[in-house]
Structure 1
């Protein structure tokens, strides 16, 4: 299947570019990174970073980030069924039955990741975003203790009064309204949306209600006070994994009942998630070179999960503070920046498990309260010499502890304090010539178990589970080829010890173990053109992008029971991923985007005895510009999986009973219209 798709990849590079007028906009290499309020140009950045700008974000189906994140090398988002998301950086899904773990995620100034390290990414409507920065590998320093990576989500900051609706296959519907306007020193933004779909599979419907309020108030000399409020209510059904035989018989079915267990639809398996998230931040500049930043935030999460063997209710409160002092000194040929700060979070999770009788909680099984405290003190130093040499040196001292109270069926208590870890990080970049840089990086990461791993759906406190940790080393080069093409090549070697991996018992409940050591070596690459203006009546402009990764991820010193899996490929991680995107503008108003994703075979269990077949997926979307005196709009048509390829968007690795497969939809369609007012309301 891969070779059938290869001609299309080569075709994208066979574009006549020699006589075309080149875009006068900024070079791709000059893209400005935020780096959590530490701006840097991509070409001189010491970090391994990928950026999703608006042309990437427009590739998503409404309500999800999957397509734009999967275009980035080293970044992988999965959707086992609508709403059931997993997100990993460089193969870190081993410990994620759902949600996001081992990746730190920020929304503007605010941390979406809770005190225990878990992130509910599915509560967001991605249409509030204007860019995403993905930092790959351990960052420590400014971002604390993770081994996977860090994602910075930036919300839109442009004025707009807009309305949109879309509808498509499987009874999909979405409506949205955005109001954003500058009032003197305030930039006020309000966004709300409603989305629903029945989905491809039986018992896989989704409903999401979302509201986002944001106010940025500027005062004094470049000072800013920021208020954010987010309300989200998500319900999605979980059809469950299928065996290969079940998938071949009927890929649309939900997990059927067995002789001993009822089926997913019969038990009304699904997720009900309500979240209220609020935060305040303030940046004050005392002098040109000295400033202070602080953010205070909290959220409440009402999470309910009827499952085949139980009905779980979880009520979570989370509180986070982040603060840092910033010092900067600039001279004619050098820049010195220092940041000293602290981020700390506290959370309480009240977890209640009941028998599940056809989707109704009945007899109590287990009641536990879990308390998590985490935080880190960090110091980071950046120095730029002669506009050529950039050095980032950082370190953080990280702490993490849990305590718990078991209330039913027995009253017990306990605690677990993990060793405080000092995590250093050093990155160096040197500008070898105009638009040509080389970089090197070394850093240590550490990731403690989350609440859902310490006390998993198997309903036992796992006292023996340890944090995973490891060192990452990498080198890379970036090159801007004149005014046309940007390329990047990175090599990394990450050695992870005590890797946390997911298991399932015979009831399908998750539990987690440390799996020895993994060796993760990889190559990642990007080639991206500028928008090439052709100035013809038929073809106005074209832009292309190609990226991918080649991974050699293996277990080392991993013995499970009496079986030695050392040398096996890392479960759930494909060795090769390739993705491309072509943006075409035609007829002074018609835009066409064509995206392709190739994924090689994927090992589905630690024994490497079962592999998922390679997949080649194509998507195409078209939008036509609409104009009048009162509005500017677009009419959009998207076709997902244009080749009607049988595949899964996410697998249940190491699944009991070989229920690995979550079939994704075949060819499906979406039609939408967006209208933006260009006159006052």
Structure 2
């Protein structure tokens, strides 16, 4: 099936190039990336960046970001169950049994990741996001201590008045309201959404209510003040992993009880997360070539997690600040931009574990308080010479400290202060001629353990866990052919030391170890065409995209409990991923998007003794607009898992007892309507 479909897509592309006429839709090469207020054309950027614009956002099911992320080379989003996401950039889920770690995430001007390095990405409604920029590998100059990557989520800047409703398989219902308008010097956005579904497996329902407010005030020329408020009330159930035999017997079931432990349904396993995030940013000039930027924000999280062995309550207070001075100088021959800045974060978390009696907390088990301070100062220099040579050099000094105190059953305390890390980065891009560039990059990354790794679900403070760090080197080429076809290829070599790896004990509780090192070599490629128009009453437009990631990721110097894993393939990362999407328009009205996702086998444990089957999944989206005098109606029908593939969308790696499998839904549907006023 995969080979046949890929041959079809290649033949289809050739026929398009031979017969079509291109229109004015921009290729990715012509897009300007923000790079956190360092605007650059994609084709001249020194960075390895993947971009998901409106074309990709439309491929998502309205309740998740998964499809738009998975269409990009080098990135992978998993969904063990609705609401339980993992985000990987070049294999970074090695240390993430759940959630988003080792990846820094920003929302517009604001910092979504907390001071410990954890990110509740599932708080964000996917329909709030208009564009995603993913920076692959260390970008420590501007974004601090990470080794996986950095994600910039952008909300809309255009006026809209939209009410959307979606219903679908397994009790899916989604409603959202998006209102944004310019008022003299203000741009105001109000976004509200409600989402619920029973989902495919038992004990995997989700309910999410969210509201987002944004006010951008240009009170003077080049003076901008931004206010942001986000509140999300999220509850999703967690069905737990199955053994292969259990999945074969009933792939819809949740983790069943054993002679020693109750099951996920019996214990009402799930997550309750109520989070408030609010902040203010200010950008203003100080002199002719000098400006200042400042972000101040705070957040509070009330998280409750009934699990099979315990009931956890987590209360988190977060504070973050980011500030930098910017100097810019532009002449006919060159452009310089210098940035000197600081980003700091503070997190205070109180974690309380109780016995779990069918979803009700009873006897106390263990209470801890953990305070986290993390910060980095950075200096970055951007330079363009005659719009041919583009350079970026940066250096940051990163520090992190944990203060912990056991409140029950004993009174103990301590401090973990990791060694400060100097992290350099350097990149260069040469625009050989219009539409053709080559680039090179080298940089060091580091990532300290998060609070949920220091104090994992085993309820023990892990004093032996150390930060992981490593050097990344890569080269790339970007080529645009006659404003019709764009190609990009990247090769990277990343050597990680003290890699953090997740494990499970017999109770299904996660804990973490430093697993020696990894050698991660990979090649990533994308090909994109513009829209092509046809003089036909039936088929009017076609646009094509294909991307691929091909990896050779291996453990190095990895020994655990007298077992040697050096030379084994890294757990949880496929060696090959191919994805494509064809956008078509028929009868000058109906839009059809046809996407395919191929994933090679995945090793599910460090010993490489268990592996998954490759998967090939297809989706289709149909859109039909109706225009009236004052309103526009947009109808869409989505078919997920078009080929009815039996597959898993998120594995539990290194799972005790072989409980690796979280089966995904067979073919399912949703239908939506959006009213634009």
TM above 0.5, yes or no, is yes
State the distance in 1 between where 2:145 and 2:391 align.
21
Residue equivalent to 1:382: 382
| CA apart distance, 1:27 | 4.2
| CA apart distance, 1:210 | 0.6
Residue equivalent to 2:676: 676
Residue equivalent to 1:306: 306
Residue equivalent to 2:116: 116
Residue equivalent to 1:182: 182
Contact 1:70–1:76 (8 Å) recurs in 2: yes
Contact 2:242–2:662 (8 Å) recurs in 1: yes
| CA apart distance, 1:12 | 3.8
**1:232-265 deviation per Cα after TM superposition (whole angstroms, max 9, x unaligned):** 0110000000000000000000000001000000
Residue equivalent to 1:396: 396
Contact 2:102–2:149 (8 Å) recurs in 1: yes
Residue equivalent to 2:638: 638
| CA apart distance, 1:20 | 3.1
| CA apart distance, 1:433 | 1.3
Residue equivalent to 1:64: 64
State the distance in 2 between where 1:442 and 1:293 align.
27
Contact 2:400–2:418 (8 Å) recurs in 1: yes
**Stretches of 4+ moved more than 4 A in 1?**
none
| CA apart distance, 1:62 | 1.2
SS at the partner of 2:7?
helix
State the distance in 2 between where 1:532 and 1:551 align.
33
State the distance in 2 between where 1:248 and 1:5 align.
28
Contact 1:535–1:541 (8 Å) recurs in 2: no
Residue equivalent to 2:621: 621
1:125 aligns with 2:125: yes
**1:606-628 deviation per Cα after TM superposition (whole angstroms, max 9, x unaligned):** 00000010000000010001110
Residue equivalent to 2:152: 152
SS at the partner of 1:332?
coil
**Aligned-CA RMSD value:** 0.9
Residue equivalent to 1:612: 612
Residue equivalent to 2:359: 359
State the distance in 2 between where 1:503 and 1:269 align.
20
State the distance in 1 between where 2:587 and 2:177 align.
29
State the distance in 2 between where 1:21 and 1:527 align.
18
Contact 2:27–2:528 (8 Å) recurs in 1: no
Evaluate the alpha carbon distance shift between residue 255 and residue 4 of structure 1 in structure 2; reply closer, same or farther with a 3 A threshold: farther
User: Where in structure 2 are the equivalents of 1:25-174 lying within 5 Å?
Assistant: 25-174=25-174
1:254 aligns with 2:254: yes
Contact 1:526–1:547 (8 Å) recurs in 2: yes
| CA apart distance, 1:5 | 3.5
SS at the partner of 1:15?
helix
Contact 2:315–2:351 (8 Å) recurs in 1: yes
State the distance in 1 between where 2:27 and 2:2 align.
32
Normalising to structure 1: TM-score of the pair? 0.98
| CA apart distance, 1:95 | 1.1
1:277 aligns with 2:284: no
State the distance in 1 between where 2:11 and 2:662 align.
32
User: Where in structure 2 are the equivalents of 1:482-521 lying within 5 Å?
Assistant: 482-521=482-521
SS at the partner of 1:611?
coil
Residue equivalent to 2:245: 245
Residue equivalent to 2:226: 226
> Which has the larger displacement, 460-469 or 6-15?
6-15
**1:637-673 deviation per Cα after TM superposition (whole angstroms, max 9, x unaligned):** 0000000001111000000000000000000000010
User: Where in structure 2 are the equivalents of 1:533-548 lying within 5 Å?
Assistant: 533-548=533-548
Contact 2:27–2:529 (8 Å) recurs in 1: no
SS at the partner of 1:170?
helix
Contact 2:26–2:530 (8 Å) recurs in 1: no
1:235 aligns with 2:235: yes
Contact 1:12–1:582 (8 Å) recurs in 2: no
Evaluate the alpha carbon distance shift between residue 564 and residue 209 of structure 1 in structure 2; reply closer, same or farther with a 3 A threshold: same
Contact 1:327–1:339 (8 Å) recurs in 2: yes
Residue equivalent to 2:192: 192
Evaluate the alpha carbon distance shift between residue 291 and residue 488 of structure 1 in structure 2; reply closer, same or farther with a 3 A threshold: same
1:566 aligns with 2:566: yes
Length, aligned pairs only? 677
Contact 1:28–1:530 (8 Å) recurs in 2: no
| CA apart distance, 1:176 | 0.9
Contact 1:378–1:395 (8 Å) recurs in 2: yes
> Which has the larger displacement, 627-636 or 567-576?
627-636
List alignment gaps of at least 5 residues for structure 1.
Answer: none
Residue equivalent to 1:340: 340
State the distance in 1 between where 2:481 and 2:4 align.
30
| CA apart distance, 1:430 | 0.3
| CA apart distance, 1:510 | 0.4
| CA apart distance, 1:9 | 3.2
Contact 2:370–2:403 (8 Å) recurs in 1: yes
**1:577-636 deviation per Cα after TM superposition (whole angstroms, max 9, x unaligned):** 000011001112110000000000000000000001000000001000111012112110
Residue equivalent to 1:461: 461
State the distance in 2 between where 1:29 and 1:224 align.
29
Residue equivalent to 1:318: 318
SS at the partner of 2:62?
coil
State the distance in 1 between where 2:288 and 2:41 align.
21
